[in-house]
Structure 1
Amino acid sequence: MRAVARVVAVADRHGRTVLRELRGESPLLLRQAATEEGVPTVYVVGGAAGPLAGDDLRLSVEVGPGAAVRVRTVAASVALPGRPGAVSRMRVDAVVHDGGTLHWLPEQLVAAAGCDHVAGSRVTLAEGARLLWREELVCGRYGEPAGNVVVATSVDHAGRPLLRQSLAVGPAAPGWAGPAVLGGATATGSLLVVGPAAASGPATVDGGGQLRGRVLPTGPGASAAWLPLAGGPAALLTATAPDAHTLRTLLDPAGVAAIDPPTPATATGPTPAAPTVSAAATAPAAAAGPRALPGAGGSVPDAAGETGWVTAAGRR
């Protein structure tokens, strides 16, 4: 199955964010939720099971100057096996212009036994862009071994590389569960913060006034570290955990200062036109309402690179 989805958010003349384009195909169906504090939220709704081996799925997000958008998924994505030798792929491309804000907060990617999946993300940020980007990977469903998954993330900021990281798990990646990678953990992920909030995270300052990374306290079987990144006002929180619930707790942005989206204008004017929506199928919105997401100004439903930092991080 092949599917393409696209989100384009722009600021209108009153400073309010309008979804100029909201277009999807099954299984990548896009639904706009209620606006929160002037910022629209878009949910990716799975219109079919998968990704299944052989699927090629692509999602692009563009945030214009002064606009802000949150993108979430209504449920975890389970990578499943298919015909022998086939690989499933999910590609996310995001562009955030100067003054734009993107919160990318999907649910987990689960590597089911027998799957062969590649998840790639490419993010391009202007110098004044702000980003909150969370990825989480769960290695296998309950009681089963992990399938083969490769998760690769590339982020550029102001025309320079900011982050390059890649993680491979499963039978085709020898040593992935060993102490050099996940150390026996079955869930891993990261939270990338780009913007003023990055400097106020739980890092330490040395005698020369330079920010240094910090290993954070965790419970048994888990680990987490907060590291400032060279090349921009950015920091990366990475974590491993024995289960998805513990991982989410470690990667909750509650401990990170808010990344404030542009303040919505108070001027009155005509109501922005509704976005154009095109989908191959329909699906209901999430049944449960969102709960507050501390520190991110939003809500959530109830690499050796030029930075000099290598991390094992995955998509949830």
Structure 2
Amino acid sequence: MLSKLFELLYHKVFVNIVVGRAQTSVYIQECANKGSIVSESQTFDTTTINSKMHEFIDSFTSESPFFYISILDTSEDQGALPTCVSRDMSKFCDLESSKYMCYKNSWAYYTSKPDLNELEKNYQEVGVDFIFSPFVLLANFFKDKINSSLAIFLLVENNYLSVAVFNNSELLYAQHINMEHTDEHEQLVMEEDRNEAEIDLELDTAINLEEIDALDDVEGVDDFGDIEDLDSFDDIDEFAEEEEQEEEIQEEVITSIEEDAAGFNEDYQRYSLIQSAINRFYKDERYKSEFVQDIYIADGVGVSGDLKRYLEEEMFLNVFVRHLDLCSEISELAKAELK
């Protein structure tokens, strides 16, 4: 009774943390008893908590005893399994150093115990109430589709891809992929595919040398006098200036191509990793594979249209993309935990 009275006097504060490659986003939601919500967010140049982030969080949590701090699991050694029966889990992976939980008594998600301990240690100054699996976030975000279709579901983060195949709420396959730490074989395949794609791109955009006339066909070559007949070096100076201008233009073009290539490479890397994951789903006899035609992408980073094009043209998938605010979705999961 006393706790209910306190809840009427104070609002709830939800602190939601998402760690990226080099930055951390913190999103605050303040919920009053009458349902009104005040939101604020800030990004910090760190992948662990620092003094500025601590001060920002404290400025909100100090206002109410009812605050809840949530973070999206960043462990590399995590995933999901198509069973919730402990004796069957060993068929898919060794969970001796992992902690797992069941999702609606249907499938399980797991993560590394050492990584969990490290995360809790890093945030011990502010405390962590909820650590959410990306697969739980994915299942919640696409619950309208997962419950009624056979499809691939993909969560895109800065460093990670979470791939899952569901058939009418039944998890058939899942894989969590760290884009910066793919295995050597997978990396080799990706590099070969990427090199072929880049060669094709270069061939398409290169100058067709056959269209350049031979030197003998250039009009006026014989009209040039001897070098000794030139009165000054003015022409040579002009030619040098033209060369410098051409070099500057070439440098600008190269810089532009390199910037485009960086985006191309990242999207192509995502595509290659998705393709490898789905091939594993089809070929690994441990999984109940089904032919899948649709993929739903929860885009948490703002991928380009190239990823969609690769999946459509190379894997012949029907691609549906939804933008996702990771911090906001974590806040929704925290609220659901309190109901």
TM-score category (smaller protein): under 0.3
Structure with bigger gyration radius: 2
TM-score, normalised with respect to structure 1 = 0.25
TM-score, normalised with respect to structure 2 = 0.23
Q: Choose between structure 1 and 2: higher strand proportion.
A: 1
Q: Choose between structure 1 and 2: higher helix proportion.
A: 2
